[in-house]
Each structure stands twice: as C-alpha cells, then as structure tokens.
Structure 1
Amino acid sequence: MNDIKDILVIGGGINGVGIARDAAGRGLTVTLIERDDLAAHTSSASTKLIHGGLRYLEYYEFRLVREALKERECLLHIAPHIIWPLTFILPEGPESRAGWKLRAGLWLYDHLAPRQSLPASRALRFARHPAGGILADNIRRGFSYSDCWVEDSRLVVLNAIDARERGAEIRLHTSLSKAAVVDGVWHAEIETASGQRETLLARILVNAAGPWVGEILGTALGLHTHKSVRKVKGSHIIVPRLYDEDFAFILQNPDGRIIFVIPYEGSFSLIGTTDIPYDGDPAQVQISPEETAYLCSSASRYLRKTIVPADVVRSYSGVRPLYDDHAANASAVTRDYVLNLEKGPGAPVLSVFGGKITTYRRLAEHALQLLEPALGKAAGQPWTATAPLPGGDLPGADFDRFLHQLLSQYAEFPATLLRRYARAYGTRAERILAGHQRPEELGEDLGGGLYEAEVQYLVAHEWANTLEDILWRRSKLSLHVPSGTEQRLRQYLEKALSKR
C-alpha cells in the first residue's frame, strides 16, 4: 500500500509552494501536485511588488497592510537576490485624492509596522526632482515612498526547490481527478499529462488551487462551502522604456483606481493593472483592447510622453482568486486571505481563498497552525522568517557586494550576464559557473546570452520543460533574445528531454 503522506497540496502557485515548504521544514511528509508548471497562472501575472498595499488603507484594511509591511522586511532579507527596494513617486494630479489625504495615508504607511531597510516617505516639489522632466507640466508636486520589487515566478520556484530539498515531493503536470476519504485517510486519484493514473494517500488535503479552489471543492471532492472566490482579471502591458530614471510611479485615475508605471527588464516599462470581474476559464485569460486603451490613457494622463496601444510589445493577464466579501466594486474586494478548514467526510481539507504574494509566507504559517491539531502530532515551530530561500544566503544580504565578488571571480564573463545570473540564482549561480573561466565553456549560446549550461541547470533543478518555462517564467529572456533563439531552444529541449 502507498505511504500515507501528512499533507497533499493541490496547486503550484505561491500559496501552495509556501505551505509545502513550511510543512516540509517542520518534518512533515508532503506531496504537492500542479497540473501545469509552477506559477503558470496567477503567481506569474502579478505587478511583481512586495508591498504593504498603500491603497488598501482606503478600505480600512489595517491588519492586512500591517502584516504585509512586516513581510516586506522579512522577504527582503531572505531573498535579496530576487527582491530589492524600489522608490515610488506619487504625483498630485488635478483629479487625484486630496494632498492631506495622501500625506495622512503615507504617514500611516510609514508607521503601521517597523521599518529597518527602507526610507520614510517625503513630500516632493517636481521643479527640483528628476520626475519633473517626466511628468506633465501641470503636475508640480507629490510624494515619494518605498516598497520592493520581486521576481514573482522565481519566488514560486525557489520555494518549491526548498520544499523539495527539505523532503517534499513536487509533481508537476499532474492533476487531481477526484478524492474520497477511506478510513479517515484521503485517497486522491491523480493523473499525469501523459495519462498515467495513481492514487495518493494523505491525512490532510490543502486546496491551494487559486482560481480553481471552488472547482476542486465541488467537483473533485464533492464538498460545498458558503465561502467562495471572486475572480478578478488583472492585466499589464509592457512598452519600450518611458524614462531613464530607476524610480516607479503610482498614478491615480479619475475612477479612483491606481496604476503603476515601473522600469522593467532594463529596456522596458511595465504598466498595470486593471481590475475587472471575470467569469471565464482562468487558463485562457487575455487582455482586452479596452484594458490596453485604459492603461495607455491612464499613464498618458500624467506623463509627458503619450503611450498608445501600438507601443505595446507584450501583455499578460492573470485571474486573482479573491475572497468574495460581496463588495460592489472589483477594486474594493479584499486582498486579505481566508483559510477555511473543514473536516470533510472524516478527514480535513484546508482551502485557501484570496491572498497576495507579499503575505504568502505568513499565510503558510497560519495554515500550519490550523492544521496541527488535525495532524495528531506536533508540527514543529515556525522557521521560515529567517531561513534564506535558495540562493538568498548572500553575505550580509548585500546584493551589491555579492555581485562585485562575482564580477571579480569571473572577470572574463560579460558583466550583464553575471548580473542576470546573480539576480536569478544568487549564490547558486556558482552551480552554473563553477569550473568555467570563459563564456564559451558554458556551451552554445542559444541567443541573447542563454547558454546551454543554464538550460541544463533549469531542466535538472527547476522543472523547466518548455520554451515558456525558460523564456518567461524562469527568466524574462523572451523580451531580449533574437529571432532564432526559440527554434534553437526547442530543438535543444527535445533532445535533452528525450534522454530522460
């Protein structure tokens, strides 16, 4: 008979991998299944920020903002290679919130939780600030504050790697067909993309399926709850870089929404996001022409440069699985998470509703706290707040010092390549570079600095199998590589995977 796992996690987004990592680190036996790739949907379609959520203060979400601000400091220290500070400029426009309200909100933002690494907000006069040359002439003052940038899909992958290294089993391209309780144990029927079927046994199910959490409960488990997910589509556009400075903008629209304009991947700017109710298949979500026009006009309202849909080089959309608090406006729906523990027909199932990428680690801790009584044994103490994610063990959590050491050690390599490796892999860049003195020793350059050695690493250690896995979710090289790279990479992957 199959071994009985303590926990079976359904869903390879940020909440699922966060729970799997935390549980495995406490000595519990864990299997995680994901029907697609890690971060294939919502978790790779975020605005890529670790932030408290300044606008949530308008909805009196003080607990959520306080927790998120605390997590901002924590995550910055355990993953300094993929998370770093980012300054935001908040202009006062003709249709923005009143200056006193902005000042009060920023004061709260500065003081709701201790700040260790980031500067406080401050008032700005744009005549004496570089933003003045970027913003329209009629916008003369505003504020600055700080939050953090995150490589969102890499955050998911690193949590999954750490979970695996602590004993969890991570099974991708594997879906749950149905599950039932037999003698107090979940019998979960799973199926791989190739059609192979198997039954897994687990004491507890964790339903972290994101937009599909209700489908898992109702269809696969035959359970029903009064709690539900409200699906909200958020779309982003990528355009050629709009300005040379390193700061981002947070812009207020006449409809009360805000959008961000953020320097992205060196040569681009990221603009987003929208908030639109969505009833379709989350796997097929796409930006609409109306959303593209909205984002272009929202940014153009503030910037000297006019952005038009023809400027868009790429877009992406995701479905946020928000907890349905019955708010009339999609933008007002809570971003807080709700954990629903049910005994089910004799065995527990924990469902995750809502949440945001910033608070995933605390969500996981809360999940383990809820599950401990049902496990029938001690689940160990919380540990993830100080344990670096893979590659994040930089000396002193100092990325610049680490990069300087890498540049000195591998002086024959292009600085741009080493910087990308340092950002993506942190100290684990050595696993690609070790033993090599020149770039050509990394194998063929498939285009844009994507060498065979890196692809081999991604296939062997990060579950990469497809072009999208490598060029979009494990990196953003799809924005940079020349024509022909995709074909060469496809041929390389076909050959490498055929040897398995």
Structure 2
Amino acid sequence: MAQVVEQRAAPDGDDGVFDVLIVGGGVNGCGVARDAAGRGLRVALVEQDDLAAWTSSASTKLIHGGLRYLEYYAFRLVREALQERERLLAIAPHIIQPLRFVLPHEPGLRPAWLIRAGLFIYDHLGGRSSLPGARGVRLRASPEGAPLQERFDRGFTYYDCAVDDSRLVVLNAVDAAERGASIWTGVRLAGATRRSDGWEAQLARADGERFSVRARTLVNAAGPWVASVLHEAVGVAGPEHLRLVKGSHIAVPALYEGDHAYIFQNGDGRIVFAIPWRSGLTMIGTTDEPFSGDPATVEISSGEIAYLCACVSEYFKRPVRPQDVVASFSGVRPLYDDAAASASAVTRDYVLAVDGAPDAPPVLSVFGGKITTYRRLAEHALEKLAPWLPGMGAPWTAAAPLPGGDLDAPAPGEDRLGAFIRRQQARYAFAPPPMVARMARAYGTRMDLILAGRGELADFGEHFGAGLHAAEVDYLIAREWARTVDDILWRRTRLGLSMREEGKERLRAYLEHCR
C-alpha cells in the first residue's frame, strides 16, 4: 500500500498544475477528492483544521433515505439516498451496518395508514435488496415495547444503516491519497486569483507559512464556510441562497437493552431518534435551529437539551432529564435556502453552483447535501466540471470498496462483519476481543497493518487506556493525518468517552514527542 506523503508544492508533470483544488475536508470535499483522483486527475485538498472536524462528524451517524422527507414530496432525494444506502453498505461494511428502527404509533399525530403507506414507498422507492422490509409490531407483546410507556401498543419497524461518520470522511481521504491526491490538513485557502489558464491559490499553514499552487478548477466544499470562502477568499459574488441550521445531539446512559433504535414523532411535526451509541450510551437527536455567527463556536443550548429530553420522555417510561446528559455535540448544516418556513423543512438536497465560462476557470460551490449522498454528489460535481477537464476518466466509485471494506463475502445467512470479527479475534487471540472488534469496525482489513507481525500486547507499545496503544497511534499519524488528541480520540477511534484523563495526558505527551 502506498504511504501517505504530504506534498508542499505543485504536482509532478509538464505544467505543474493541479486539475482540481478542493477547499474543505468534510465528507463532500473528501468524496470529490477520491472520485477525481481515481479518474486520473491531479488533485489537492486543503482543510483548515482536521478532516471531519466540523459538520461531518456531528451528524446523527446514519446512512438513510430520510423517511420524513417523503412528507415534503422529495421523492427524487429519497430515492437517490436509498440507492446510495445500498451502495455504501456494500463498499464500506466495516463502518456501515444495518440498524433496525422501531416507530411507535402516536395517536393524534400521523395516522397509522399514512405511516404504513410511507414505509411501503420507502421500501420500494430505492430498489432495496440487502435490508429487511418494514412490518407492523405489537409493542406491548414485544421486547421493543418494554422501555416504552404502556399507552403505546401499535408500532412499525424498518431498517436503515448506522455509520461512523468521521471515519467515512477519513477513509475517502486515505483512498484519494493512495491514488495520488495531496491532502493538506491545517492549511487554509487565504486567497485565489483567476488567471486565463486557471486559478492561482495562496495557501496558509497554521504556523504562518504560506505557499501557492495553481489549479485548473476550484471546488468550494467548505461546508458552513462555503459563502465566506466564495466571497472573501475567491472574490466571487455567487448565490446568496445559504441557510445555516444547527443540529445538536445529546448522549445519556443507555435507556434500553438491545441494538435497535427508536424514531419518535414530536408534537411539532419533527422526529427525534434514540440510537445505541458508544460506551453504553443512547444518543438522542437532532434539533433544527437557525444559526448565525462563526460555525467554529457552535454548541448546544440549554433549550435544545430541554427539547430533546422532553421529546423522548413522552415515549420512554423512564424520564430523561438534562442532568442525565453525559455528552453532547452540535454541527452547522450549510443548507440551500428554498424559502421553507421552518429550519426542519429546508431541503436536504444539494445544489452545485458553478461560476465560470468556457474561457474562464470555474469555481464549483457545494450547498446543502446529506452524508448519505456524498458519493453521488461527487459524481455530479465532476460531471459539471467535465467541460474544463477533458480526458477525465469515467465514474468508478459505485462499486469500489473504501479502504478496509474488502471483507470476504459472507456465507448464506451469515453476518459479513460479524464473521470477519470472529476470524480476526481467532487470528489475534493474544489481544482482548473487544479491542480486536473495535479495530475491525474502524479499519476493516487494514487492521492487519497494525496487528500483523505482533505476538503479544507488549509488542504494541505504550497503552493509553481503552484499548489504544502506541502502534495504533503511530498508524494514525503516518496514514490518517492525526496530529492531536482530539483527532485520535474523537474522529479516528471514538474513544474520547472511554479514556480516562490520565490516559489522555499521556497520549498528549506522546504526540508532542512524535513531532
């Protein structure tokens, strides 16, 4: 496997010009980088912070069609998302797994016949093939109803998928780099000047060092900063149809047993999820609130916490109180403003706006989008840039596994990831089974790059706690652009809630020594 090597200057070649310069290391930017690099284009991506540092690691951790969007007649969006759900489950089975949802019927809100009809459409709109279909359930007579209030008897179950969102971003970047892309984290776009033959971009590192590169096309995938990049760094007026919406989640000690999730209808017409999460927690979310200000300062409000607690307390026997919250996270979604009256009704579809002419280099800006449709968004982005990139290769990402996703095909009736975990636990019997299972879900087959050739735990170096050893940290530094404690514990391994403060301090010291 090619080693990730950071570049500091222009690419090799006769003219030293990148074909595509991407601003933003979230899921859309990294998705475009992967697709473009695999088509033979010379690609660079700059991210001012860490990969997935903001919105892309603050999602509800779902790959889903968006059941509620059917109410807004967004059939094309739901259909595309459902099709992508099937594709992503196939190419990233280590970080994406099926998740069963229980939907209790709340009399007085959406009628049962409407929910049943919506689930029928949801099952058939996207060509479902790998997940079970929806069905009705009597909650009082089933385990799924045990944690719910007695008034809930009728309900429905259906399937979507859970995803490790930040690892989805990182793995796209890894694949892009292994196909020749330059991935620069801690680098921001300070400015870009349009020349007759392309863009001249001025880039700035966190330490103040500046350098410049040239590129034929520019992709602005800066998420909630998309407008400021377009207006301030690039100097293009661009569309003003950006609506920033804050979404927040809370985590509380597990509210029920089982690996299923719940989807609850709220009295205001919104829906809220309760999902099993790391370290014996239940994640609850999300909110939808208008946001203004610096997206880097986003945080949950006391009102949002109260809202989420009140919503799920209408369903669970055990009330959820603000003092039960042990963790929270918030993100700002850069949605395309379709003039919807409420933040929750704003379309989650994406809009790709191109500023350019046949004789002028283009800048393509990404507005809106869902993590589920990032791969298709990348294809559409390159379709729009095709006139400026003659000779570009054909689309290829629909069936190509993400790094580590090349798990063996399962036997009939066998769980693909579960079988892989069992094989790896037998192969690395000297390591604690929970540690092997976690690494399998994070790295897939790439875990062998960390584990192979070691015969005992002492071979992994210093143990920081929660099953994280120096060997894994070294891998993340060398191949996944990890530089800080947060990079490792919150976006690469999700061990931030499991590790003690003493272990975090030792990890911080280790990283300082590695610099």
Normalising by the residue count of structure 1, what TM-score does the alignment of the two structures yield?
0.98
User: For residue 455 of structure 1, what is the aligned residue in structure 2?
Assistant: 473
User: For residue 489 of structure 1, what is the aligned residue in structure 2?
Assistant: 507
- Residue 420 (structure 1) aligned with residue 438 (structure 2): yes
**Aligned equivalents of 1:64, 1:58: Cα separation in 2:** 12
> Which of 194, 218, 221 is 2:207 aligned to?
194
Structural mapping, 1:123-272, within 5 Å: 123-272=136-285
User: For residue 363 of structure 1, what is the aligned residue in structure 2?
Assistant: 377
- Residue 62 (structure 1) aligned with residue 75 (structure 2): yes
- Residue 380 (structure 1) aligned with residue 398 (structure 2): no
> Aligned to 1:396, what secondary structure does the other structure show?
coil
**Aligned equivalents of 1:487, 1:249: Cα separation in 2:** 37
Partner letter of residue 481 of structure 1?
M
Larger deviation, residues 80-89 vs 222-231: 222-231
1:266 Cα deviation (Å)? 4.2
**Aligned equivalents of 2:455, 2:253: Cα separation in 1:** 34
User: For residue 440 of structure 1, what is the aligned residue in structure 2?
Assistant: 458
- Residue 110 (structure 1) aligned with residue 128 (structure 2): no
Query: Which ranges of structure 2 fall in alignment gaps of 5 or more residues?
Result: 1-8, 11-15, 411-415
1:95–1:253 contact (8 Å) kept in structure 2: no
Partner letter of residue 301 of structure 2?
S
1:227 Cα deviation (Å)? 4.3
**Aligned equivalents of 2:155, 2:279: Cα separation in 1:** 25
User: For residue 475 of structure 1, what is the aligned residue in structure 2?
Assistant: 493
User: For residue 322 of structure 1, what is the aligned residue in structure 2?
Assistant: 335
1:350-378 C-alpha deviation (Å, 9 max, x unpaired): 11110000000000011111111111x12
**Aligned equivalents of 2:406, 2:32: Cα separation in 1:** 21
1:331 Cα deviation (Å)? 0.4
**Aligned equivalents of 1:467, 1:96: Cα separation in 2:** 45
2:279–2:497 contact (8 Å) kept in structure 1: no
> Which of 302, 310, 332 is 2:345 aligned to?
332
**Aligned equivalents of 2:462, 2:477: Cα separation in 1:** 16
- Residue 348 (structure 1) aligned with residue 362 (structure 2): yes
User: For residue 4 of structure 2, what is the aligned residue in structure 1?
Assistant: none
1:202-227 C-alpha deviation (Å, 9 max, x unpaired): 00000000111111111111111234
Structural mapping, 1:3-14, within 5 Å: 3-14=16-27
1:272 Cα deviation (Å)? 0.3
1:228 Cα deviation (Å)? 2.3
User: For residue 425 of structure 2, what is the aligned residue in structure 1?
Assistant: 407
> Which of 12, 15, 23 is 2:28 aligned to?
15
Partner letter of residue 480 of structure 1?
S
1:274 Cα deviation (Å)? 0.1
2:140–2:150 contact (8 Å) kept in structure 1: no
**Aligned equivalents of 1:155, 1:59: Cα separation in 2:** 28
Aligned residues: 496
**Aligned equivalents of 1:297, 1:428: Cα separation in 2:** 42
1:14 Cα deviation (Å)? 0.3
1:291 Cα deviation (Å)? 0.2
Partner letter of residue 354 of structure 2?
L
- Residue 87 (structure 1) aligned with residue 105 (structure 2): no
Partner letter of residue 502 of structure 2?
G
> Which of 113, 119, 130 is 1:100 aligned to?
113
2:140–2:152 contact (8 Å) kept in structure 1: no
> Aligned to 1:435, what secondary structure does the other structure show?
coil
> Aligned to 1:479, what secondary structure does the other structure show?
coil
Partner letter of residue 330 of structure 2?
S
**Aligned equivalents of 1:243, 1:285: Cα separation in 2:** 30
**Aligned equivalents of 2:172, 2:123: Cα separation in 1:** 29
> Which of 398, 403, 418 is 1:390 aligned to?
403
1:13–1:42 contact (8 Å) kept in structure 2: yes
1:297–1:307 contact (8 Å) kept in structure 2: yes
Structure 1 stretches of 4+ with a deviation exceeding 4 A read: none
Structural mapping, 1:298-309, within 5 Å: 298-309=311-322
**Aligned equivalents of 1:95, 1:296: Cα separation in 2:** 21
1:94 Cα deviation (Å)? 3.5
2:67–2:122 contact (8 Å) kept in structure 1: yes
1:189–1:198 contact (8 Å) kept in structure 2: yes
1:254-307 C-alpha deviation (Å, 9 max, x unpaired): 000000000001410100000000012111100000000100111111001111
1:93 Cα deviation (Å)? 1.6
1:220-248 C-alpha deviation (Å, 9 max, x unpaired): 11111234211000000011111111110
**Aligned equivalents of 1:286, 1:226: Cα separation in 2:** 27
Q: 1:260 to 1:478 in 2, by over 3 A?
A: same
1:115 Cα deviation (Å)? 1.2
**Aligned equivalents of 2:55, 2:279: Cα separation in 1:** 24
1:30 Cα deviation (Å)? 0.4
Partner letter of residue 322 of structure 2?
P
1:129 Cα deviation (Å)? 1.2
> Aligned to 1:412, what secondary structure does the other structure show?
coil
1:342–1:349 contact (8 Å) kept in structure 2: yes
**Aligned equivalents of 1:120, 1:227: Cα separation in 2:** 41
Partner letter of residue 342 of structure 1?
D
> Aligned to 2:119, what secondary structure does the other structure show?
helix
1:400 Cα deviation (Å)? 1.5
RMSD: 1.1
User: For residue 299 of structure 2, what is the aligned residue in structure 1?
Assistant: 286
Partner letter of residue 346 of structure 1?
A
**Aligned equivalents of 1:455, 1:198: Cα separation in 2:** 29
> Aligned to 2:90, what secondary structure does the other structure show?
helix
**Aligned equivalents of 1:226, 1:476: Cα separation in 2:** 37
1:95–1:254 contact (8 Å) kept in structure 2: no
1:95 Cα deviation (Å)? 4.2
1:157–1:462 contact (8 Å) kept in structure 2: yes
**Aligned equivalents of 1:185, 1:337: Cα separation in 2:** 26
**Aligned equivalents of 2:34, 2:490: Cα separation in 1:** 23
- Residue 71 (structure 1) aligned with residue 84 (structure 2): yes
